[in-house]
Chains A and B, each alone.
Chain A
Amino acid sequence: MSATDTPVSLPTPDTAQRSPWGEVLHSLSRSGTFLTGLAIVVFWIVCALFGQHFVPYDPLASDIINALTPPAADHWFGTDQLGRDVFSRVIVGSRDILTVAPLATILATIAGTALGLVIGYFRGIVDDIVSRVLEAFMAIPVVIIALLAIVALGTSKITVIVVIGLSFAPIIARTVRSAVLAERELDYVAAAKLRHEGALHTMFVEILPNVIPPILVETTVRLGYAIFAVATLSFMGFGIQPPSPDWGLSISSNYGMIGGGFWWTVLFDALAIASLVIGVNLVADGVHGAFND
C-alpha cells in the first residue's frame, strides 16, 4: 500500500448542491419579475398561435358601415376606419412581430457570438479593426440603418429580420468579446494550450460554455429591443406591411385621427406593444438576476 495521506478524510462531494443550471432555474422559478414577464409573453404567444380561432370577428374583414364605432358590447375595443374589429386585430396582431423579432434576435445572437468569440480570442489587429467598425456601426441608430437598407433592398420581412439581426449582432459581439477577453486570461485556456488543443476546440469547447450566461442575458434583452425595433419600423412604414393586423402598422394608419378623438383605434395596440416589450424585459431582468446572484 502506498503512503496514506488523509485516508478517509476526503468527503463525498456535496451532490445535494444544485448544478449551476439547476440553481439558475430554481432562482428563476422564485422570481416574481420573471414569472410575471413569462406569463405576459406566453399570453401573446398563445394569441399569436391560436388567436384566430377564438376572436369574435375576422381581423381583416372590413365593415365600412360600422367604421370608427367606439368600444361597446359587440365591439369591445370599437372598430377602425374600415370598420374592422379592433379587439380581434389586437389579439392576432402579435403574429408577425413574434415571428420577425425572435428570428432577428437568433440571427443576431449567432452572428454576434461567432464574431465576439473570434475577435475576443485572437485579439490583436483583427480585434482592433473589427471592434472599431462595430463601434462605428453601433453609433448609427437601428432605425436609420433599417431605413437605408429598406430603401436599397425594398420592404420584406426577410429584410427586416436581416437588418435588425445584423445591427444587433455587434452589440452581442461586444458582450461576448468582453466576456471572452476575461476568460482567455484564465489558466484553463493556458492549460488547453499546454495540451496542444486547436483554436476551435479552445473557443467552442473550453470558452463558449463559460460565456453562455452573458449571451443568454444579452439575448433576452435584445429580444425586447428587437420587438421595439420591429414595432417602430412598422410604425414608420418600413416594417410589416398591410394588410397584417400588426400593432405598429395599425397605429401608423390610425394615429392621424387621434386629434379627432378616435382614441380606441390606437390605444389598445399601443398597450399591447407596451405589455409585450415590458413582459420580455421582465423576463430579461429575471434571467439577468438569476445569473448574477
Chain B
Amino acid sequence: MVFLGGQVLPGNVGRAILGPFADQRAVDALNHSLGVDRPLLVQYGSWIWNFLHGDMGTSYVFRAPVAPFVIDALGNSMKLALVAFVLVVPIGILGGVIAALNFNRPLDRIISLGGLSVTVLPEFVTGIILILIFGVWLRWLPIAAAWPKGAGFFTQLYYLTLPSLPLFLVLFGYIARMARSGMIEALDSDYTRTAVLKGLPWRMVIWRHVLRNALLPTITVIATQTGYLIGGLVVIETLFRYQGIGSLIFTAARGKDFPMLEAGILTIGIVYAVATLIADFLYSVLNPRIRLGAEQ
C-alpha cells in the first residue's frame, strides 16, 4: 500500500508530496549530524529510490528489514484511526449542523462549548479519564488495545473502542465547529433567503440549498486533521500499548533506530499527502466553481 502510494504520488502532485520531502530533509539533517557519513544527497536519493521500491532499510535495533514492521504498524494504526474517523465525521458534522440550526440557543451553547472543551484536552488526559471510568471503575472495556491473537472483527472493534474515543473527542470539536460556522454562513446567505422565499419547505431548503454549500469547507478541514490524528496516535498507542505507527515512531526515537524512524515518518507523510489529495479531489468535485473554472 505504501509502495503503491509512493508509485502514484510523485508524478501527480508536487505540492502535496512536498510534505514528506520536507520531513525527509529534516530527518536527513538530523542523520548527518549524528554521524552518518555518506554524502547526504547520494544517501537521500538512493534511500528514496529504495523506499519507493519497498525497501525501507534495515532496523538498527531488530537487525531486520524495516518494511514489515512499518506495514504491520500502519495497518494497525489505520484500523484505530478508521474507527475514530467513522465515528467522528458523521457525529461531528451532525453536532455542528444541530448547533447551527439552534443558533445561540442553549443546545448550541452546549455543543459549541462542549466541543471546544473536549477538543483542547490532550489525548492522554481524556484517555486516562476514560480508562478510569470504563476500564477501571465500570470494567466495561479493556484498558489495553491489543486484542488476543486471531480475534474477529467485533472483538477487535471492542478492543479499539476505548482508544478511539480520545481521538474522537479531539476531532469532534474541530469538525463540529467548522460545520457549525459553515452552516451559519450558509443559513445567513442570500441564496438561502431566495430558497425560503420561493416557498420551499424548510427541510428542502436545508437539504438542497444549505447543507452542500455549508459542508464544503468542512471537508478540507477533515483532511488537514489527519496530521493531528497521527500526532494523537503516538500518544494513544503508547497509552494503550498498541502496536501502531505512532508507537513505532516513538519506540524508534527512544531507541535511536534511525532507519525505522525515517521509514515511519515518511510513511505518515505519504498518508497525509494522500488524505490531502482526496480532500482536494472531493472539494473540486463538489464545488462547481472549481470544477468549471471561475472565468467565463
B266 to chain A, nearest CB (A): 11
**Contact call B132/A231, Cβ cutoff below 8 A:** no
**Contact call B128/A251, Cβ cutoff below 8 A:** yes
Partner of B124, one of A251, A259, A271: A251
**Contact call A281/B235, Cβ cutoff below 8 A:** no
Contact with A along B116-146 (1 / 0, CB 8 A): 1100111111001101100111000001000
**Contact call A140/B122, Cβ cutoff below 8 A:** no
**Contact call A255/B234, Cβ cutoff below 8 A:** no
Please judge, given known A-B contacts A139-B272, A140-B227, whether A281 and B120 are in contact too, CB under 8 Å. Answer: yes
Within 8 Å of chain B (Cβ to Cβ): is A152? yes
Contact with A along B19-59 (1 / 0, CB 8 A): 10111001100100110000000000000000000000000
Within 8 Å of chain B (Cβ to Cβ): is A136? yes
Kindly state the separation between the CA atoms of A136 and B21 in the bound complex, as whole angstroms: 8
Residue of A nearest to B34 (CB): A152
Kindly state the separation between the CA atoms of A89 and B120 in the bound complex, as whole angstroms: 23
Contact with B along A268-279 (1 / 0, CB 8 A): 001101100110
**Contact call A151/B235, Cβ cutoff below 8 A:** no
Within 8 Å of chain A (Cβ to Cβ): is B228? yes
Please judge, given known A-B contacts A135-B18, A152-B34, whether A267 and B132 are in contact too, CB under 8 Å. Answer: yes
Contact with B along A224-243 (1 / 0, CB 8 A): 11001001100111000000
Residue of A nearest to B18 (CB): A136
Please judge, given known A-B contacts A148-B30, A236-B250, A255-B128, whether A278 and B227 are in contact too, CB under 8 Å. Answer: no
Partner of A228, one of B15, B120, B269: B120
Residue of B nearest to A263 (CB): B132
Contact with B along A144-187 (1 / 0, CB 8 A): 10011001100000000000000000000000000000000000
**Contact call B117/A281, Cβ cutoff below 8 A:** yes
**Contact call B122/A277, Cβ cutoff below 8 A:** yes
Interface size class, chain A? 35 or more
Within 8 Å of chain A (Cβ to Cβ): is B90? no
Q: Which residues in chain A, 111-161, are within 8 Å of chain B measured between CB atoms?
A: 132-133, 135-144, 147-148, 151-152
Kindly state the separation between the CA atoms of A251 and B131 in the bound complex, as whole angstroms: 13
Residue of A nearest to B234 (CB): A143
B227 to chain A, nearest CB (A): 5
Kindly state the separation between the CA atoms of A263 and B129 in the bound complex, as whole angstroms: 9
Kindly state the separation between the CA atoms of A281 and B120 in the bound complex, as whole angstroms: 7
**Contact call A142/B231, Cβ cutoff below 8 A:** yes
A219 to chain B, nearest CB (A): 15
Please judge, given known A-B contacts A144-B265, A147-B250, A151-B256, whether A137 and B124 are in contact too, CB under 8 Å. Answer: no
Please judge, given known A-B contacts A33-B113, A152-B30, whether A133 and B22 are in contact too, CB under 8 Å. Answer: yes
Partner of A277, one of B120, B128, B238: B120
Q: Which residues of A contact B265 (CB under 8 A)?
A: 140, 144, 148
Within 8 Å of chain A (Cβ to Cβ): is B101? no
**Contact call B234/A236, Cβ cutoff below 8 A:** yes
Q: Which residues of B contact A255 (CB under 8 A)?
A: 124, 128, 239
Q: Which residues of A contact B117 (CB under 8 A)?
A: 278, 281-282
Within 8 Å of chain A (Cβ to Cβ): is B84? no
Q: Which residues of A contact B253 (CB under 8 A)?
A: 147-148, 151
Contact with B along A63-89 (1 / 0, CB 8 A): 000000000000000000000000000
Q: Which residues of B contact A93 (CB under 8 A)?
A: none
Q: Which residues of B contact A147 (CB under 8 A)?
A: 234, 249-250, 253
Within 8 Å of chain B (Cβ to Cβ): is A287? no
Q: Which residues of B contact A207 (CB under 8 A)?
A: none
CB-CB nearest 10 A-B residue pairs = A141-B231, A136-B22, A139-B19, A143-B231, A136-B19, A281-B120, A270-B128, A277-B120, A147-B253, A278-B117
Question: What are some 10 contacts across the A-B interface (CB < 8 A)?
Answer: A133-B22, A136-B21, A141-B227, A144-B265, A148-B253, A225-B120, A248-B124, A258-B131, A258-B132, A281-B120
